[in-house]
Structure 1
């Protein structure tokens, strides 16, 4: 592979394309402190018939702009200065509001409070996880009443917390939120971004000496908070010893009592799951003198939301496995006879089983695509869904998957009813076969909704690459199903082609190999520091890759481990915007033509571009479809999108990819991360590399972080019992 890119200018070490902000902060101000989207600039509207009309119109527009600028400056001052909370607040109250805003905007991930070892002092920002509070939905008719918000505002001010949290607290606690918060101040922990130490300060201000670390209310609130943090990290439950230890680290004096109180109040559920390890069972003597086998169990504690989703998913999968319809046997035989090789093997497995797993890389998607076409040609009601619109586009381009006949969609589109077949009188999808690609990206709730929507007798195929990053939301559905071995598993033998395919395949088995790339398919760009990494990245995207590879800048994406840091998405997006689409960020930090990543729902990132802004909000074009984001949602739901994290990029591919690995990124890397990032490239991969030996070490030694789930145990029990 080549180790030097072609460039037209000499890059100096540590010389980013954009100057640092005052104080040395390289974070772009528009993205961190965006104002609401304003009106379009004067001069874009067409003039009137007379000079007087033009002058009047211009004066009106200038006046409107002055008002808008004043409002923007007020918002910026509110965010950057002391926080108004009855009186001007600063210190801990300002810190609390800043923390909440950081989590809501995605700038700061939730703290993994239950994690095992303490992080190193300079831990880089981890890959963002799914955050339900990232892009809150606009207030519907069921929003909290204004008087409720005002009452909560008074309680927050009394306790020294920022009044800006009042709408969120009122929405979370409902009617009577002020009384509930005054009675139990630790309910503030239900707001994303609030930490236990901040809630403790709020409680002391309200309750005085009547509260302490051993307060039962505090124990329950911290227990629920820890379970929420666990869900953000992908767990559907926590083992009891892990939860007890985490409570101890949060200075809960009696963790056992805190857990029992939480369970008694119904704020969490406890489970005893039998362990199925070979040789683990031991006989014991009963009172009647008979020997009975004692099965070891593990005790888990989880939130009801995820526990019920996991149990519903297991029930639904067992139903599909055990309700195989014979009415379509002839059609399935016909479908299996029209395909060959791996697709034929997959078709035969689906003909005889209600649930089938299919594994393979990008090239292996040809097999489920062929199955989809054969099933539809045989008269079966078949549909396929992908994780992203780009995945849908790539699948639809393969033979057999005809988008014109509505045979391909996305998971979100199918669940919302915007795509796919209709539903019958019972609410079930009118399908004989559902193929789900990008299986590892299914979280437990989405998977449960899909399976619940399938009628008895339908077939389900889950297909995907088990080496990529897991879902942003709780669960590891695809990995649990593979491990449970309750259904046929078809492994594709189609390799991904070319030097990039060879490199990614090696990463998948823990080897970072030297690969011959005669056509500059892979280029390694060594850098000494983060500043040089930013400079080289901009140079590659804007000049080297378009000139040497023939891929324009708008078809190249940058992938980096996190949002923060000197070479995170915010710094890279600021530099790339200045080079590729400079502008003042007049629409809430954005300008027409900016590339963006839009999050319509937690855990999703749809690439697109800014079209304009008006009174309705920010107008985007995403996957060819127009999208309008209301003003109040822009700050939390829209980011610049020249640079993404691997979690944001998973499920999509680009002609060219630049992966940025600065020297301080080693702790954020793992084999799945590298595999996912490198695998997003179709024609060209540039690696801006400052890790030296840390990269091959991460590929060889650092696997996916384990997630605690119950699906394997539930599946084995359900399938066996049924």
Structure 2
């Protein structure tokens, strides 16, 4: 990234995988110690082996990796959700979690879109969703006996989207008040717009273009007056919309809506632009800090935050009276406050929690004083941005509607009934759990529906999985965009009887809300997935909340994942790192002493050992590591792998034809692909059969090399062979869900480049992952209890 010319450095944004970039997974210290060989062992002494059974004769510098080390559960490792270290740069997939509602995050595009004929694809899609939501709202209003989702937050689906857009274009943030010097910021990387398309490759490639030149020019002028980096102008327009220049002049702290901008930079910009006519208690600044804290929590997956955490953040940024600032922000609608549910075991602010009691809360939830004036409740309070609060309310409304659906006798006529078909005959909402092999069970429902004359769609999260399942399968992104799947009726509902969503643990609250809102009355919904995997990149944890709520049937598959890899992964799912028999070298452990050796051995495995011994070519082998940064992160590994597999000068933004890439059309969504060519229009890609052209000024924001990915990027994808790199300097990032997800990306062969010593079995045994703070579970329980709905 180009060095800044003026202004303070931007702070590191949290990445789209739901964590901060420079997190504990990015360590600089070299690893030490080497455990043994072949299958993952429970502290047993083993020896190293390559898949082909021999060391690399062609690499005289290959280190001697014989030796052993015991592994024990006493090793202490931290959760993979840790705060970021300062000083990192924004990443293509590490921008703040701002995808559109259909993708589980913020879009990062303000409401001031381009004029007709100049709309970007992402903006056009949002406009279409706005119209669709209005139709859905009308349909829900006309339906007899609608479910009331809450007295204050029972607005229509159109209001939900309006709230989303309002927060995006009105976002404020700022922080530690005014650094002494005002040097300019580094150019800020943009939040990539969403690009979707039908599964067949389109005749004309999708083009990812930048913002309108005139809007960028206007923002440049404002940034120059505020002594901020003018190179950040395109990113500002992407985040704030075409009226970004006017927005910044009215409220300079809205600069914090731009990925990579930190509070110090926003404060410096505001001080210069407002000529000192502001202070640390400026309402615009305090509101911005609150929004920033809630958005950062959303990147970690939380839809709500204890007020104590927000107050601590305000105090840390020199806000004179944090309590008053918080009350003012809630009164102004910057955030919504909700009393917590002490009976909810998942609520981190329950009776034992230390949550600040604030006097601000939604209307209708307070008590009355002796004079008859309504007061807010006293007790633990959760704060939420209205976009997430409304999404959870709308999702709870729709799920409760499905859960209350009566029997559908048509499903009783299936020729070969199964547990799933019997559950669908009685319930409108069904959960299915199991591993990779178990996906066949819910996918088979499409054929059963056809035999009954019903319309069914199977939705998955990757083009790869959609192709494997057949013509009934579509991607969630394409379904939400209207590029695939059934048509909609005049009310905006899909013309289908059954929707099956696989990889449901990847669903954030916002895309889940759009999916459920689009289901017609009487339709059935099956959510299937593996609860042991990493959660969604966006805010919310829908599948986990539904499993815990018990409001619908859960069908657990009895189909085991096959082979040594399946056996190993199944054990990890229950907290056991077992030694497995691998006669065909399906699982190989390659111990390493440090990160440099880990990179060297990884290249050997991908380029030589696995193709020769296993028969899987390098382009079908995926490297998975814990982070982008670090001595054995994706950056270091991709550099080494490119030099070996596709050397070239990187004439177009560091890329050459034939490079494997990871394309991020929206934060949290990664599509693998290959560079085809480059010309004046941009970089031309082949992304799983879809042609995409990325404009030159969007390459840095949406692309990275893809020989090596993180486990979050690789989730919902599989390859014939996978090499999982566990350097010793990244052990703090390990958890059971991370290991389970990473190891499960391999279909036939798994190599583990192992420098984590005892931290690996300790993570599998003792670190189940960090729970997310959400309201969906309590909302569902309250809705169904109030209406007499039965629990499964």
- 1:306 corresponds in structure 2 to 388
DSSP-derived class of the 2:665 partner: coil
DSSP-derived class of the 1:156 partner: helix
Q: How does 1:64-463 map to 2 (within 5 A)?
A: 93-94=183-184, 96-98=185-187, 100-101=188-189, 138-139=209-210, 143=212, 146=214, 149-170=216-237, 172-173=239-240, 177-178=244-245, 180-207=247-274, 209-277=276-344, 298-324=380-406, 326=408, 329=409, 331-335=410-414, 337-339=415-417, 344-394=418-468, 396=469, 403=470, 406-463=471-528
| Partner of residue 705 from structure 2, selected from 631, 640, 647 | 640
| 1:347–1:371 contact (8 Å) kept in structure 2 | yes
DSSP-derived class of the 2:603 partner: helix
Task: Give the Cα separation in 1 of the matches to 2:686 and 2:241.
Answer: 36
- Farther off after superposition, 667-676 or 582-591: 582-591
Task: Give the Cα separation in 2 of the matches to 1:136 and 1:480.
Answer: 37
- Farther off after superposition, 258-267 or 436-445: 258-267
| 1:12–1:532 contact (8 Å) kept in structure 2 | no
Cα drift, residue 716 of structure 1:
0.8
- Farther off after superposition, 624-633 or 588-597: 624-633
| 1:268–1:302 contact (8 Å) kept in structure 2 | yes
Give a deviation string over 1:217-242, Cα, whole Å, max 9, x none. Answer: 22111111111111111111211122
| 1:105–1:635 contact (8 Å) kept in structure 2 | no
Task: Give the Cα separation in 2 of the matches to 1:260 and 1:599.
Answer: 38
Give a deviation string over 1:134-169, Cα, whole Å, max 9, x none. Answer: x996357xx5x72x5444333322322111223443
| 2:344–2:778 contact (8 Å) kept in structure 1 | no
* Matched residues, number: 590
- Farther off after superposition, 176-185 or 587-596: 176-185
- 1:12 corresponds in structure 2 to 61
- Is it true that 1:720 corresponds to 2:785 in the alignment? yes
- Farther off after superposition, 245-254 or 534-543: 245-254
Task: Give the Cα separation in 2 of the matches to 1:185 and 1:609.
Answer: 40
| 2:407–2:426 contact (8 Å) kept in structure 1 | no
Task: Give the Cα separation in 2 of the matches to 1:608 and 1:177.
Answer: 33
Task: Give the Cα separation in 1 of the matches to 2:748 and 2:674.
Answer: 23
Q: For residues 597 and 177 of structure 1, do their structure 2 counterparts lie closer, same or farther at Cα, with a shift above 3 Å needed?
A: closer
Task: Give the Cα separation in 2 of the matches to 1:345 and 1:296.
Answer: 47
| Partner of residue 494 from structure 1, selected from 546, 559, 566 | 559
- 2:545 corresponds in structure 1 to 480
Cα drift, residue 669 of structure 1:
1.2
Cα drift, residue 650 of structure 1:
0.4
- 1:37 corresponds in structure 2 to none
Cα drift, residue 210 of structure 1:
3.8
Give a deviation string over 1:360-408, Cα, whole Å, max 9, x none. Answer: 00011121122221121221111101111122233x1xxxxxx3xx311
Task: Give the Cα separation in 2 of the matches to 1:558 and 1:519.
Answer: 20
Q: For residues 603 and 536 of structure 1, do their structure 2 counterparts lie closer, same or farther at Cα, with a shift above 3 Å needed?
A: same
Cα drift, residue 195 of structure 1:
0.9
Task: Give the Cα separation in 2 of the matches to 1:4 and 1:546.
Answer: 15
| 1:558–1:659 contact (8 Å) kept in structure 2 | yes
DSSP-derived class of the 1:214 partner: coil
| 1:8–1:543 contact (8 Å) kept in structure 2 | no
- 1:65 corresponds in structure 2 to none
| 2:508–2:539 contact (8 Å) kept in structure 1 | yes
Task: Give the Cα separation in 1 of the matches to 2:755 and 2:421.
Answer: 46
Unpaired segments ≥5 residues, structure 2: 1-37, 40-47, 65-87, 94-180, 194-205, 352-367, 370-376, 788-792
DSSP-derived class of the 2:387 partner: helix
Query: Which structure is higher in helix share?
Result: 1
Give a deviation string over 1:431-490, Cα, whole Å, max 9, x none. Answer: 111000001000111101110110001000000000000001110010000011100011
- Farther off after superposition, 352-361 or 219-228: 219-228
DSSP-derived class of the 2:227 partner: coil
Task: Give the Cα separation in 2 of the matches to 1:149 and 1:616.
Answer: 19
Task: Give the Cα separation in 2 of the matches to 1:548 and 1:227.
Answer: 50
Task: Give the Cα separation in 1 of the matches to 2:378 and 2:332.
Answer: 28
Task: Give the Cα separation in 1 of the matches to 2:539 and 2:434.
Answer: 23
Greater relative contact order structure (CA < 8 Å, 6+ sep): 2
DSSP-derived class of the 2:320 partner: coil
Task: Give the Cα separation in 2 of the matches to 1:528 and 1:12.
Answer: 14
DSSP-derived class of the 1:656 partner: strand
Q: For residues 612 and 178 of structure 1, do their structure 2 counterparts lie closer, same or farther at Cα, with a shift above 3 Å needed?
A: closer
Normalising by structure 2, we get a TM-score of 0.70
Unpaired segments ≥5 residues, structure 1: 16-26, 33-90, 107-134, 288-294, 397-402
Task: Give the Cα separation in 2 of the matches to 1:177 and 1:31.
Answer: 22
Cα drift, residue 659 of structure 1:
0.4
